[in-house]
Structure 1
Amino acid sequence: MMRYFLSVIFIFVFVFQGFCQRIKTESGDISILKGEKELAVSFSYDSIKVHGYDTETEFVKVKAQLREKHEPGSGAVFEKAWFADREAFYEPLFIEDINKALPQKRHINLVKNNPKAKYNLHIETLWVYPGYNVGFSHPAKIDVALKVYEINNPENVIWQSQTPIRIQAKAAPYKRELRIGAAYKELGILMSWYFKKRLK
């Protein structure tokens, strides 16, 4: 009986989480991408904040100092990895999953700096909760803002999402870069569903 009850709770949480993770339009019309075969994608982290800290700079400084106390040199390694993980993990995981999830009949090929594309999808990360996995685990979360603009005329924003969009990963791997990366994978899946619905 208890196992059945826990299964019901898990299903409810899973469905509720999926329901809450929605993309809504602030302005413009994403359907202008209908028929496009190529789309560029870019990422920015200029305004990012980390859960529990006033600034990303403060977070990196505190975490680097803690590591340095335990193992000299590890603070600098952490700081370098924190920023390098964006191009090494988060962005490729998003691109891989959105491209994989889009069906062939409405396929749009997303590539960074795509020379064939007329439009660019820009993803701005506003906030991150890294999650944890130390016996107990909790998935990472991110807040993002999305917009699509014409590459040759960046001021022509053809679509913009309501912000922030809160994304929670479905898994919490042991490694930090994969935990946060899992949230970007989830964003890719969510964005693919949005394209499927709006670009019919």
Structure 2
Amino acid sequence: MKKLIIACFLISGAMFSQDMDVVQGKFDFLKDQKEVNVEFDYSNFTMMKENKSEAQYIQEHKADLDKKAKGNGNIWEKKWAVAKDQIWSPKFLEIANIVLTKEKKDLNFQEGLKTPYTLIVKAVWIYPGWDAGIMKQPAKVTTNLKFVETANKSNVLLEITSEEAPGDQWGSNFSNESRIGEGFAKTAKSMAKLIAKKAYK
């Protein structure tokens, strides 16, 4: 029975898929680039099925944790505060560069570069998922990926939407922040594969 339950959840987990669409623009400008600057925008994303603000999510999740053990809400909030810079953004950059290297493409994404083009990764919607041991649900991350001219960011050369990229790992992962990071990793993987396919014709 336990094996059946696990199998069902593995199957249901596999059904979560990412939808990546090109909104506008072409990939050809990337072909001759060695490096692209990256900026991450976490300023205005919503969370959960109810589209809560990040502030509301933090307040409610802190309260839930404090009910289980006083003080745990503040401990978690500190982890959440650094997750963007220490987990989500690094995961995106790491996986994008790994995929492009495996695809033998000489293109690298990094923050803080002075390059002709900048990729703006804007978080739109995040669902942290959950893990209860035998049963779990992956995180989901929706982003807008906009390649712009660094000197004139209103000039958009390519825009891609990534809907509900799944974030999960083999085994148990009880950290909301880590699961969300895997969603950003999946986003980067899909984006890099798309670039490798479309930009180097």
TM-score interval w.r.t. the shorter chain?
0.7 to 0.9
Which position in structure 2 is the counterpart of 1:134? 132
Which position in structure 2 is the counterpart of 1:34? 31
Q: How many residues in Structure 1 have an aligned counterpart in Structure 2? A: 190
What whole-Å deviation, never above 9, does each CA across 1:11-63 have from its counterpart, x for those lacking one? x974x65xx52422211222211110000111112221110443221111111
Q: Distance in 2 between matches of 1:170 and 1:79?
A: 21
TM superposition shift of 1:196: 0.7
Alpha-carbon distance change, 13 to 79 in structure 1, aligned in 2, over 3 angstroms = closer
- Please give the secondary structure, in 2, of the residue aligned with 1:102: helix
Structure 1: give runs of 5+ residues left out of the alignment. Answer: none
Pick which of 77-86 and 179-188 moved more.
77-86
Kept in 2: contact 1:22–1:190 (CA 8 A): no
Which position in structure 2 is the counterpart of 1:183? 183
Which position in structure 2 is the counterpart of 1:110? 109
Pick which of 185-194 and 43-52 moved more.
43-52
Q: Distance in 1 between matches of 2:155 and 2:49?
A: 36
Please give the root-mean-square deviation of Cα atoms over the aligned residues, in Å: 2.5
Alpha-carbon distance change, 89 to 193 in structure 1, aligned in 2, over 3 angstroms = same
Kept in 2: contact 1:90–1:180 (CA 8 A): yes
TM superposition shift of 1:170: 4.5
TM-score by length of 1: 0.84
Q: Distance in 1 between matches of 2:67 and 2:116?
A: 50
Q: Distance in 2 between matches of 1:159 and 1:48?
A: 21
Which position in structure 2 is the counterpart of 1:173? 173
4+ residue stretches of structure 1 with deviation over 4 A? none
Pick which of 177-186 and 63-72 moved more.
63-72
